[in-house]
């Protein structure tokens, strides 16, 4: 066993130490908690997306204010450097880069960070190259590399990070994907992880990208949806470029045969079973790079949206009992409005218009505007990529990671997108595109997106990067979202959000963290609604999302302090809706799902460490 270290005493730890879900719902637990308180074109398909010609919105104020983000990487102790494994042979996986994850693995109230990296090809596990590192958040924007102490030994080619409490013991577990197989790292609760073995049914040696924990069948246990990119080996890697001149470049995705994703059901004993065909999600193989799990259609069951590279995207609507129906084409989310596929990579969803409907945004290749699908009550999504202001800013870039969050605490979800080309070889074929590219920040101004002046955003946003994974996470517990980035073949970056913090005078920030009892422990699939006067906002507790990354699952609401008092309700996984006890004064709140239909949620105000 790897070296462990003492964990802090808090009611978070007490909650985790209680044990499985069935115990967590008891009155005894509640009492304890209170006491502890450029690519080729693809032939067009039939157009199914609806393009909206005009999108009305109120007049907007010009952007003003202090610098939003400060780069605190140098003093943070995070010295992670990504390695793509690129070489003269141009191995295809090395173009895609890697993500990262936010996880409070030791339940001390601070979110830690896990970064993953590539390794050289062919992958040699015996070499024990570190392709993942874990940094513990010590507070005060200081982090400690505890990779060896926590037992995170991952020597495969790392692509993705998924976080979820798969066994319901209160401690979040870690699932890493990549080329050569996937590994679930079980959180022992003593500051260390234990890797799964082949008997767990998770490691089939195939090439995986993103993954999402979610409860597909409503049994309270988190299942796993794993994205498969395709069938590729170093031995079958074709030569692309000018062979006579010796100019080799990364091949098109069309040279890689797509492979079907896999859905693995949690058996509750540490093992998983492949239920892809039985669940009905086996009919659309498509070089998947991004997946997000959330209640898209508002029926109380969790759904899946998958971003596929040069294949139609997929929307799977769940019935809450482990079966899914394909709504990709009928919903208008498989193609953009001209009926063609795009090079979809990252994905996120949010109610960006504060109208109670889910919107979906998908990042794409250079020359392709990012897709922005606006949801509606009839279940049909409309392609508003042009009219919303969300799509056209991405045209010059190869876009990957994306995160929706209300970064300035004005009550509207903004978007951050990472950009960077696929390799350093584009000049060989006359492509003048830059390898390193500027990131994007899209400020949501009451339902329309606009780019604020880059000098207002801070030095990171005027500097070019090889962006890949990004996660939004409140690292200092001050009630706004900070950012962490994983760059291809470059050091990671940590940005402190100063804009949100500076605006808290005159506004109240309320952070809500859910704990499930009847449903899954993480509350994945839940929807939190805040009502204040005529304002209504909804936030989803999502599995997966972004690009090969995992984010902070706490949901955040902001209101003026002189406005009407807010009320909150939660639609839990399964569809049950419960109003929350009065939450006043903002701050962070732990909400425990009632164990019986006639009970009320337990709301505990937290004082998280900084």
Task: Give, as one character, the DSSP assignment of residue 465.
Answer: B
List pLDDT tens digits, range 281-290. Answer: 998 899 999 9
Q: How confident is the model at residue 433 (pLDDT cuts 50, 70, 90)?
A: confident
Q: In what order do the strands lie in the sheet with 132-139?
A: 100-103, 112-116, 132-139, 142-145
List pLDDT tens digits, range 371-393. Answer: 999 999 999 999 999 899 999 99
Element (H, E) at 487: strand 482-487
Residue 54 has pLDDT above 90, yes or no: no
How wide is the angle at C-alpha 295 spanned by C-alphas 269 and 58, nearest 5°?
150
How wide is the angle at C-alpha 399 spanned by C-alphas 402 and 62, nearest 5°?
65
Beta strands in 334-394 (DSSP E): 347-350, 359-362, 371-374, 382-383
CB 313 within 8 A of CB 333: yes
Residue 276 has pLDDT above 80, yes or no: yes
Q: Which of 119-133, 332-346, 536-550 has the highest mean pLDDT?
A: 536-550
List pLDDT tens digits, range 510-547. Answer: 999 999 999 999 999 999 999 998 889 999 999 999 99
Which of 127-131, 506-510, 514-518, 553-557 has the lowest average pLDDT?
Answer: 127-131
Residue 582 has pLDDT above 90, yes or no: no
What's the mean pLDDT when you consider all of the chain? Answer: 88
Q: What is the pTM of this model?
A: 0.90
Is there a cis peptide before residue 122, judged by omega within 30 degrees of 0?
yes
Contacts of 476 (CB under 8 A, 6+ apart): 139, 140, 141, 482, 496, 610
Q: How confident is the model at residue 27 (pLDDT cuts 50, 70, 90)?
A: very low
List pLDDT tens digits, range 169-217. Answer: 999 999 999 998 899 999 999 999 999 988 899 988 899 999 999 999 9
pLDDT at 562: 83
């Amino acid at each position: 066993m790897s070296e462990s270290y003492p964990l802090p005493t808090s009611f978070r730890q007490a909650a985790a130490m209680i044990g499985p879900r069935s115990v967590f719902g008891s009155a005894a637990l509640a009492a304890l908690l209170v006491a502890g308180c450029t690519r080729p074109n693809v032939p067009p398909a039939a157009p199914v997306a609806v393009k909206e010609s005009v999108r009305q919105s109120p007049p907007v104020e010009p952007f003003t204010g202090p610098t939003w983000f400060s780069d605190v990487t140098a003093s943070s102790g995070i010295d992670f450097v990504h390695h793509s494994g690129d070489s003269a042979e141009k191995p295809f996986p090395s173009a895609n880069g890697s993500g990262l994850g936010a996880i409070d693995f030791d339940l001390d109230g601070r979110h830690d960070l896990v970064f993953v990296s590539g390794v050289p090809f062919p992958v040699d596990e015996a070499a024990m190259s570190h392709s993942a590192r874990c940094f513990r958040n010590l507070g005060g924007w200081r982090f400690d590399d505890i990779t060896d102490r926590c037992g995170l030994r991952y020597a495969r080619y790392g692509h993705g990070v998924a976080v979820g409490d798969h066994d319901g013991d209160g401690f979040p577990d870690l699932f890493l994907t990549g080329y050569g197989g996937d590994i679930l790292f079980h959180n022992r609760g003593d500051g260390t992880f234990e890797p799964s073995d082949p008997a767990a049914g998770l490691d089939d040696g195939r090439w995986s990208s993103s993954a999402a924990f979610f409860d597909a069948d409503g049994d309270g246990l988190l299942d796993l949806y794993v994205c498969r990119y395709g069938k590729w080996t170093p031995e079958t890697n074709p030569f692309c470029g000018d062979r006579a001149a010796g100019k080799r470049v990364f091949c098109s995705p069309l040279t890689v045969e797509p492979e079907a994703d896999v859905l693995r059901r949690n058996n509750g004993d540490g093992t998983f079973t492949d239920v892809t065909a039985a669940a009905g999600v086996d009919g659309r193989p498509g070089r998947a790079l991004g997946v997000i799990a959330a209640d898209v259609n508002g029926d109380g069951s969790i759904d899946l949206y998958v971003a596929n590279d040069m294949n139609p995207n997929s929307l799977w609507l769940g019935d809450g009992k482990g079966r899914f129906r394909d709504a990709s084409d009928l919903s208008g989310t498989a193609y953009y409005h001209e009926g063609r596929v795009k090079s979809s990579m990252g994905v996120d969803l949010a109610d960006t218009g504060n109208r109670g409907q889910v919107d979906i945004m998908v990042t794409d290749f250079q020359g392709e505007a990012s897709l922005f699908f606006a949801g509606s009550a009839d279940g049909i999504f409309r392609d508003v990529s042009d009219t919303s202001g969300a799509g056209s800013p991405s045209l010059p870039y190869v876009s990957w990671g994306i995160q929706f969050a209300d970064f300035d605490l004005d009550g509207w979800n903004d978007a951050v997108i990472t950009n960077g080309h696929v390799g350093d070889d584009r000049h060989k074929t006359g492509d003048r595109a830059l390898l390193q590219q500027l990131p994007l920040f899209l400020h949501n101004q009451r339902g329309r997106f606009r780019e604020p002046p880059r000098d207002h955003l801070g030095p990171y946003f005027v500097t070019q990067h090889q962006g890949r994974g990004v996660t939004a996470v409140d690292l200092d517990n001050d009630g706004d979202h900070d950012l962490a980035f994983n760059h291809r073949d470059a050091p990671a970056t940590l940005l402190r959000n100063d804009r949100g913090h500076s605006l808290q005078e005159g506004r109240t920030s309320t952070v809500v963290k859910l704990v499930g009892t009847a449903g899954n422990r993480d509350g994945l699939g839940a929807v939190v609604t805040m009502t204040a006067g005529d304002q209504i906002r909804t936030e989803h507790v999502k599995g997966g999302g972004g690009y090969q990354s995992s984010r902070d699952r706490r949901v955040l609401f902001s209101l003026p302090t002189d406005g009407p008092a807010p009320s909150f309700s939660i639609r839990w996984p399964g569809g049950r809706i419960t109003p929350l006890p009065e939450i006043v004064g903002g701050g962070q709140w732990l909400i425990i799902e009632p164990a019986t239909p006639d009970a009320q949620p337990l709301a505990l105000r937290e004082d998280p460490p900084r």
